Amino acid sequence: MNKMRLFNFEFKKSILIIFLLLLCVFQMGILWSEKNPGVPFPFSSQIRFWRSNDTVDLDEVKELYYRPKSILVSDGSGDLYWPLDSKNNLYRSIWKDLKDSYFRQIIQMKPVIGDKEYERDWYSLIKMKTIILEFKNEIPSGIIRWLAGVDSSVVPAVKQIYKLAIFPSEDINNNKNTLYVYDGHTVYKYVVTIEPGNLKKEDYEKAITTIRNSETIIPMNRLIAFYAITEEKELLISLSDKNKKIWDLLVKTPDTIALNKNNMDNIKENLLDESRRSIITRLSDDLTNVIFSDTEQVYRYYFNGLLDYQYRGKEAGEKGLVEEALEKALMFIECRKGDMIQGAGIYLSKIDETDKNYIFIFDYVMDDMEIKIKKDTEKAIHHAITVHANRDRVLDVKWYIKTFAYNDYFNEYSLFFYDFFEKQLILEYPQLKSNPVIHNISTDYLFSENGMRAEPYWLIETDSKVIYLRMRGKGE
């Protein structure tokens, strides 16, 4: 009996020792892969709770980072355009057709040469009955090819796409749609096939003929047709008396990455990559920023949500193709964004390039208005994210990590350009009277770098500077 008891006890002890041994090996494995990110086999990748490059499927999310600045309907009046709201079903259907079908066809086919004079003149085309899609800046066709999922061996005839006009009535075939693609210099004509699931030709035609009946859309006019204060032929302004309801926004740094001593693990988990355990952490004495660094990279994170990432070897890596660099930039954002950013979307606004890398500028967008950062000390406007990247890696990032919601206040705002110009702009900037050259006008949200409220502003780009003036609501 005693022997039996002793056996049981020994058996239990053995099981416990084996369990502890296994736990020890497991722990060692975790530490090994954490300390040496380049180990040949991913010991613990399956049990990670944080997002990494391996867990993000960029193909699924890449299309969420680009969209047109506007989709305008012209009923042939000449200088009048109806901008569609991005929540509008027609906007979504047109954009779906382009992104899922027409862009692929544009990349794969050769353009037809337009034989009529108006077919080669963008400004004549957009005065006709058409639907116009505009990007904020030129998008290289390599990026369109990558986003449309076309094989990289296909060489597009058009180098970049800036604007595009859809002419549903031009081709007599019911399954064909005519597109004019403008790259900023030349107009290319494409006759694309209307594929199953796309909007039908009559849907496009109906949209053009009935748009005037829409009571919710505030039409826009071309500024140059009324005042000689711009050279931009396509700059649109409103001459309507209708008001637009705009909410103030509550802007916060996500709670998960709030900067305080007790939240360092969360910050590391959300903002750093896999090498987070080997990194040195230094919290500033005044608790306004923290630096995470190792031999290759430096992350500086500020209390106001600004993440400043720098790769130490800025000269390292090949420049590569723009879409390869964009892939790296999107991966950086997507791995960190998670569910932290609510309320606003992140969209690619501009692409620049230097000799050695590409610069991608992204903006937050909510209710079709860009949300930008106002640095009161510099009197300058900053974008949400600026990424320098090449084909191998991200080299530099400045990112205001913020989350957005409607605040407790809204007002009705007049978009009537004349009122704004005479009653606000000229009064505050009388020097404009002598040189009133305007390059761009927009209404955007602005918030102070350290503030929590975003308000609607007029942004005016002139020859010398960018002017921003808070919009005046009803009763203000």
Give the whole-angstrom CA distance, residue 291 versus residue 301.
Answer: 6
CB of 86 to another protein, least distance (A): 22
Treating both helix axes as pointing N-terminal to C-terminal, what angle do 89-97 and 201-210 enclose, rounded to 10 degrees? Answer: 140
Angstrom distances, CA of residue 165 to CA of 71, 85, 195, 210: 10, 17, 18, 18
Q: CB pairs under 8 A, 24+ apart, for 4-9?
A: none
Q: Which two tokens stand for residue 461?
A: 């780009």
CB 94 within 8 A of CB 156: no
CB 107 within 8 A of CB 141: yes
Closer residue to another protein (CB): 240 or 310: 240
Closer residue to another protein (CB): 77 or 186: 77
CB of 226 to another protein, least distance (A): 5
User: What is the DSSP annotation of 342-381?
Assistant: -S-EEEEEEEEE-SS-EEEEEEEEETTEEEEEEETTTTEE
In 401-465 the beta strands, taken as DSSP E runs, fall at: 403-414, 438-448, 453-462
Closer residue to another protein (CB): 187 or 220: 220
Give the dihedral of Cα atoms 360, 366, 370, 376; nearest 10 deg.
Answer: -100
CB of 429 to another protein, least distance (A): 11
CB of 430 to another protein, least distance (A): 9
CB of 284 to another protein, least distance (A): 49
Dihedral pair phi/psi, residue 195, rounded to 5°: -85, 160
CB 348 within 8 A of CB 408: no
Chain residues that interact with another protein, rule: CB under 8 A = 77-80, 212, 219, 221, 225-229, 239-240, 418, 421-422, 426-427, 432-434, 436
Closer residue to another protein (CB): 169 or 289: 169
User: What is the DSSP annotation of 80-134?
Assistant: EEEEPPTTSHHHHHHHHHIIIIIHHHHHHSPPBPP-SGGGG-HHHHTTSEEEEEE
Closer residue to another protein (CB): 80 or 208: 80
Closer residue to another protein (CB): 144 or 415: 415
CB of 169 to another protein, least distance (A): 16
CB of 219 to another protein, least distance (A): 5
CB of 179 to another protein, least distance (A): 25
Closer residue to another protein (CB): 345 or 436: 436
Q: Which has the closest alpha carbon to 233: 158, 372, 132?
A: 132
Closer residue to another protein (CB): 387 or 415: 415
β-pair type (280-283, 243-252): unpaired
Q: Which two tokens stand for residue 442?
A: 């927009």
Closer residue to another protein (CB): 31 or 225: 225
Burial 143-178 (b: 16+ CB within 10 A, else e): bbbbbbebeeeeebebebbbbbbbbbebeeeeeebb
CB of 225 to another protein, least distance (A): 6
Closer residue to another protein (CB): 32 or 227: 227
Q: Which two tokens stand for residue 172?
A: 């007599």
Closer residue to another protein (CB): 217 or 384: 217
Q: Which two tokens stand for residue 115?
A: 């034989």
CB of 165 to another protein, least distance (A): 18
CB of 81 to another protein, least distance (A): 10
Angstrom distances, CA of residue 461 to CA of 134, 239, 288, 452: 19, 19, 33, 25
User: What is the DSSP annotation of 143-172?
Assistant: HHHHHTT--TT---SSSEEEEEEEETTTSS
CB 437 within 8 A of CB 230: yes
CB of 76 to another protein, least distance (A): 10
Closer residue to another protein (CB): 82 or 399: 82
Closer residue to another protein (CB): 264 or 437: 437
Q: Which two tokens stand for residue 316?
A: 């390292």
CB of 275 to another protein, least distance (A): 58
